Amino acid sequence: MTKYIYEHKNWTDFSWHDKAINVLFGEVRLMQGKIIGQMNALGFSAKEEASLNVLTIDVVKSSEIEGESLNYDQVRSSIARRLGINTGGLVPSNRHIEGVVEMMLDATQRYTLPLTENRLFGWHAALFPTGYSGPYLIEAGQYRTGEMQVVSGAMGKEKVHYEAVKPEMVKTEMDKFLDWFNTENRLDPVLKAAIAHFWFIIIHPFDDGNGRIARAITDMLLASGEGSGERFYSMSGQILAERHRYYEVLQKVQHSSGDITEWLDWFLHCLKNAMLTTENTTQKILRKAEFWKLHEHTAINERQRLLLNKLFDGFEGKLQTSKWAKITKTSTDTALRDIKDLLEKGILQQTEGGGRNANYELVGFKLE
């Protein structure tokens, strides 16, 4: 039976081959600086919105990796409310969403504070406010006291992917991890984020929610490295897109005797891809900012503002009068009046075909 990494003596003395990751590491650091520069060049409100979008995606996608769907608008509203960002039309969110948002914002906005046992317990309790994970009662707000296996497959045919550190060793291992986390300042923050993620996942200190907390810890260290709570790329969003490889690499490196080069290589590639995704998003935000600059003196009502923003934020399908009425919760007549007004102002134009199912699009702004 192959040993797990934690069964080796001094298993946390991780090693890696600098040569194997140096070029990629340099590219990632360069891109990080470029993105922060691009964002700082945006106006305050556009920059604020970019960060709000990324924080929302981070929370939604981190839960999605665990097979849980959160309502995007509720998450966005919860974050906006806590950060004091006025987005208009805030929607109420449930206790569970509030808890997930609370954890993520505590990690990214208070990145200068030490990571302590009590803070982690608070995060865990916020993730599971009822003490249940789905239908199962779990040990919320404390380290696990039972064995932990990561399994898949049907009952009776389960496949064990990983067996975590014994419960009686969890506190000792976590004390060592937290001490390193709070005192290690020679390592580059990006490499520290990669190591912290792996180290925490190997310990698997909680009954549930280990992946989400590991990703929050990663975001905390990335924010610390950038000296800013504003997030402009989503590591969780990228991990979701690459999750098969994520689990594959974790499964392989969990049996290493301390060399984590392959994990660091994967992590840096994932981070680089997250930043490439952001470059596309930034273009959308810039176009949106340009649009509102152009129309800062145009009389636009709240319904029109809501729909125009939706067009920039990824509107699904074609814009029609019926959709307008449904989204703004008004009559078809009111929707038609709103649209006609924007046609007259040269903001919208009708696409090919007319009649009751006419489609409309923005003038002069391609949204692909």
Which domain CATH number covers 181?
1.10.3290.10
Does residue 326 sit in the same domain as residue 269?
Answer: no
Does residue 117 sit in the same domain as residue 206?
Answer: yes
**Looking at the 3D structure of the chain, how many domains does it have?**
2
pLDDT digits (tens, 9 = 90+) for 108-161: 999 999 999 999 999 999 999 999 998 999 999 999 999 998 887 777 788 888
* Mean pLDDT value across residues 210-223: 97
Provide the terminal-to-terminal Cα distance of the chain, rounded to the nearest Å. Answer: 52
Q: Which domain holds residue 344?
A: 299-362
Does residue 252 sit in the same domain as residue 311?
Answer: no
Residues in CB range of 300: below 8 A, 6 or more apart = 308
For residue 293, tell me if it sits in a domain. Answer: no
Name the domain boundary from 259, 287, 315: 287
For residue 368, tell me if it sits in a domain. Answer: no
| CB count in 10 Å sphere of residue 69 | 8
- Rounded to the nearest 10 degrees, what angle do helices 243-253 and 261-294 cross at? 150
Question: Which residue type is seen at 51?
Answer: S
* Mean pLDDT value across residues 99-116: 97
Does residue 170 sit in the same domain as residue 47?
Answer: yes
Q: What is the CATH number of the domain that holds 313?
A: 1.10.10.10
What tokens does 282 get?
């930034």
Question: Which residue type is seen at 274?
Answer: A
pLDDT digits (tens, 9 = 90+) for 240-290: 999 999 999 999 999 999 999 999 999 999 999 999 988 777 777 778 878
Distance of alpha carbon 206 from alpha carbon 213, whole angstroms: 10
Does residue 15 sit in the same domain as residue 46?
Answer: yes
For residue 294, tell me if it sits in a domain. Answer: no
Does residue 212 sit in the same domain as residue 308?
Answer: no
| pLDDT of residue 368 exceeding 60 | no
Question: Which residue type is seen at 359?
Answer: N
* Mean pLDDT value across residues 27-54: 87
Chain-centre distance of CA 151, in angstroms? 25
Does residue 210 sit in the same domain as residue 324?
Answer: no
For residue 194, tell me if it sits in a domain. Answer: yes
* CA 280-197-181 angle, 5° bins: 120
pLDDT digits (tens, 9 = 90+) for 280-327: 777 777 788 788 888 989 999 999 999 998 888 777 788 999 999 999
Name the domain boundary from 230, 259, 287: 287
| pLDDT of residue 355 exceeding 80 | no
For residue 100, tell me if it sits in a domain. Answer: yes
| pLDDT of residue 43 exceeding 80 | no
Report phi then psi at 350, rounded to 5. Answer: -85, 135
Average pLDDT, the chain: 91
Does residue 14 sit in the same domain as residue 108?
Answer: yes
For residue 255, tell me if it sits in a domain. Answer: yes
Does residue 247 sit in the same domain as residue 283?
Answer: yes
Which 8-state DSSP code applies to residue 110?
S
Does residue 175 sit in the same domain as residue 102?
Answer: yes
Does residue 146 sit in the same domain as residue 32?
Answer: yes
For residue 274, tell me if it sits in a domain. Answer: yes
* pLDDT the model gives residue 285: 76
Does residue 332 sit in the same domain as residue 265?
Answer: no
